[in-house]
Amino acid sequence: MRDARHDVLFEPVAIGPVTAPNRFYQVPHCNGMGRMFPNAMIAMRETKAEGGWGIVFTEQCDFHATSDIQPYTETNLWDDGDEIYLGRMAEAVHRHGSLAGIELAHAGQDTGNLYSREVPIGPAHRPVSALNHPIQARAMDLSDIIDYRRWHRRAALRARDMGFDIVMVYAGHNNTVPGQFFYKRHNDRSDAYGGSLENRLRLFRELIEDTREAVGDTMAVVVRMAVDELMGPDGLEWHNEGREAIEMLAELPDLWDVTIGNWANDSQTSRFAPEGFQEDYVAFVKKVTSKPVAVVGRYTSPDAMVSAIRRGVTDLIGAARPSIADPFLPRKIEEGRTDDIRECIGCNICAAWNNLSAPSRCTQNPTFGEEWRKSWHPERMAPVSAPSHVLIVGAGPAGLEAARTAGLAGFRVTLAEASNDLGGRVTREARLPGLSAWGRVRDYRTGQIAKMTNVEVFRGSRLGAADILELGAEHVALATGATWRGDGVGRTLRSAVPVTGGSGLLTPDDIMEGHRPPDGPVVIFDDDGYYMASVLAELMAAEGRETWLVTPAVVVAPWSEYTLEQHVIEQRLADLGVRMLVRHTIVSVDEGEVVTRDGLGRCDRRIACAGVIGVTARIPDDDLWLALNGGVELEGAGIRSLQRIGDCYGPGLIAAAVYQGHKYVRELGEPVDGDGVPFLRERHVIEGS
Ligand code: ADP
Ligand code: SF4
């Protein structure tokens, strides 16, 4: 069953007094559920354990009211009341033979304590870093440090009593107190906790020792620490204090979980970092400690995992995103089904939803976060009792996911695609600079469909309304996508931009189809705010054009802040010489120039250019829907249901199209109460009721 080359991944690993059943380690990761949506969080973690992750951790678990990271929805362990849902999570993980870990965190000067209203604390008097709040953290004095150690110790004991197997002392990502003491730039103390490296590490050391002393050999004590911040000498570097710190504490924890910080560096997208991207920074750790080591790096390939172990980089394969995209990744390797792995595409939509304080969503895994509230399992579908014929028109992410899911459920499926290529927008966009991994959205689904005898795929088949009526399928899903509009209308401009002379605006679709403005400078007008304008700017610059990116936003690609990419996108555009004009909109496109207006309403700039590309909004390709009269009176053709899914219904993220393709099948033939809420809701307990 399993490929013998992958055996090493299934060796048990001793971590102090406990033993992990294999090397698959779901590292702590936020998910936007946490304390606000605990049932969803528990079911999500349990699914990972069921899928074979040998260690399953909580997200950041704040252990005192002085660490209140509102508006983010991580977990809390402030008092006994929090033990209920955290304990349930540990139980759920244990049901599948995995170890449950808890990450004790205190955000210190990284948070404003908006809910608790406690004054934030940290190594020094400093404005808090979160969300630019006008709030300062105060420097902890020695009595605060005594209190802090007691709170941490108490939390470790609570974790033990709840049944957790592993407790983590967390100093990673620049966002917790022991890390803030460690970093020179945050710590200007002159007492025993400031100055020398030994002093700056004192609190971290004490916390590890306190925790060990408190829990004895009932739990493993692990640490999570960043060894480099990618800031050069302005921050921590792995080859100086990063390394020295690990050497000084080398044998103290039972496991070293090492990363690069901050979170944006740790969770880099595939646009900016390949699989295994942390290895250059963390590979030294195993040479300076005899304790097991864990690293992350968006590993989705079992061969890359094995290689990292064989090369002595790591003992455990740490993963957040790969475990979100495929909770069953370990089981699939174990069962020799590696081509069934649903590989993370490294897009960070999961991170974005968390950063927006909403339950995380995954582009590749539409069931993520739906395990409890919709009882969606990532691998299983209830088989249909009477398999009817489903016709899906369009093989973009929505159509492919609908076809895959309908095939899994046992429907007879026909998938018709107008072009010769499957994948729709994903295939087109994956050819743009840095986005090739997005092709995995297509590849996973085409790979699965190819194995299904009940799914027939027709390429080069542009269906008209008459074809659909003729085909006689009982259920028809229109997944025909959307088209970028070429009139400039979007978030800022509510009516078409005036065009005099020239060819007007090109669209991203035009560019992806190979069209180009005449030779000369190009202006990209971005009123979309996510990735598209910036990748087109990269493309234009790479083709040797003088490139402008004009946006009404205050920074380029503002929404990519949520995917942790904004700063790297801006850096890349700057490196490529792209000229960025923020807080500007375009007001007219004329022959040889574009006129822009600034955020204060002044017409202040004319930019000479050979062409303008507008990245503003999209329009659904719903001609078929209109031709079929929205499904009214189709019974004569034997069609019981007609629906639009994906961008054809409402243009959106790829993640939304995949989700809709999945949802379509889950609800097919099921009575759906359109007036109600289509999922279970988390309820608060009202005191006294
Ligand atoms: P989504 O993101 O919703 O999946 P895409 O734009 O990625 O949408 O994909 C839509 C797909 O539908 C494209 O591959 C397109 O070629 C195909 N398509 C559009 N109209 C038709 C049609 N009439 N018949 C068959 N396929 C179609
Ligand atoms: Fe990976 Fe994107 Fe899913 Fe996150 S949302 S796990 S980055 S595929």
DSSP 147-171: HHHHHHHHHHHHHHHHT-SEEEEEE
505-506 β-sheet, strand order: 505-506, 611-615, 522-526, 547-550, 579-581
Orientation angle between helical segments 397-409 and 440-450, nearest 10 degrees: 30
Residue 418 Cβ < 6 Å to ligand 1: yes
pLDDT at 97: 98
Task: Reply yes or no on whether 30 is catalytic.
Answer: yes
Residue 11 to residues 6, 15, 20, 27, 309: CA-CA distances in angstroms? 10, 13, 9, 18, 11
Instruction: For residue 410, name the pLDDT band (cuts at 50, 70, 90).
Output: very high
CA 18 to chain CA mean position, Å? 30
- CA 354 – ligand 2 centroid, Å: 12
- AA identity, residue 410: G
Mean pLDDT for 59-74 is 97
Beta strands 412-416 and 389-393, pairing class: parallel
Question: Quick check: 15 pLDDT over 80?
Answer: yes
- CA 343 – ligand 2 centroid, Å: 9
pLDDT at 518: 94
Q: What is the pLDDT of residues 153-204, one digit of tens each?
A: 999 999 999 999 999 999 988 889 999 999 999 999 999 999 999 999 999 9
Residue 479 Cβ < 6 Å to ligand 1: yes
DSSP 303-350: HHHHHHHHTTS-SEEEESHHHHH-TTHHHHHHTT-GGG--------HH
| Residue minimizing CA distance to atom 1 of ligand 2 | 344
Catalytic residue among 228, 257, 266, 315: 266
pLDDT at 517: 94
Instruction: For residue 620, name the pLDDT band (cuts at 50, 70, 90).
Output: very high
Task: Reply yes or no on whether 94 is catalytic.
Answer: no
pLDDT at 603: 81
Say which residue the tokens 């909109």 belong to: 585
Looking at the chain, the whole-number percentage of residues with pLDDT higher than 70 is 100
Q: What is the pLDDT of residues 129-150, one digit of tens each?
A: 988 899 999 999 999 999 999 9
Question: Quick check: 670 pLDDT over 90?
Answer: no
Question: Quick check: 56 pLDDT over 90?
Answer: yes
pLDDT at 60: 97
Instruction: For residue 463, name the pLDDT band (cuts at 50, 70, 90).
Output: very high
pLDDT at 318: 98
Give the span between the Cα atoms of 49 and 112, in whole angstroms: 34
Give the span between the Cα atoms of 240 and 237, in whole angstroms: 6
Q: Does the N-terminal peptide bond of residue 262 adopt cis geometry, omega within 30 degrees of 0?
A: yes
pLDDT at 671: 75
pLDDT at 173: 81
Q: What is the pLDDT of residues 314-361, one digit of tens each?
A: 999 999 999 999 999 999 999 999 999 999 999 999 999 999 999 999
- CA 412 – ligand 1 centroid, Å: 20
Question: Quick check: 636 pLDDT over 90?
Answer: no
**H runs (alpha helix) in 576-634:** 623-627
Mean pLDDT for 94-104 is 98
SS3 content of the chain, % helix, strand, coil (to 5): 35, 20, 45
Q: What is the pLDDT of residues 370-389, one digit of tens each?
A: 999 999 999 999 888 888 99
pLDDT at 684: 84
Question: Nearest ligand, CA of residue 354?
Answer: 2
Give the span between the Cα atoms of 515 and 594, in whole angstroms: 19
- CA 562 – ligand 2 centroid, Å: 13
Q: What is the pLDDT of residues 475-491, one digit of tens each?
A: 999 999 999 999 999 99
The predicted model scores a pTM of: 0.97
Catalytic residue among 30, 344, 347, 362: 30
Give the span between the Cα atoms of 223 and 169, in whole angstroms: 5
Residue 416 Cβ < 6 Å to ligand 1: yes
Q: What is the pLDDT of residues 588-598, one digit of tens each?
A: 999 999 999 99
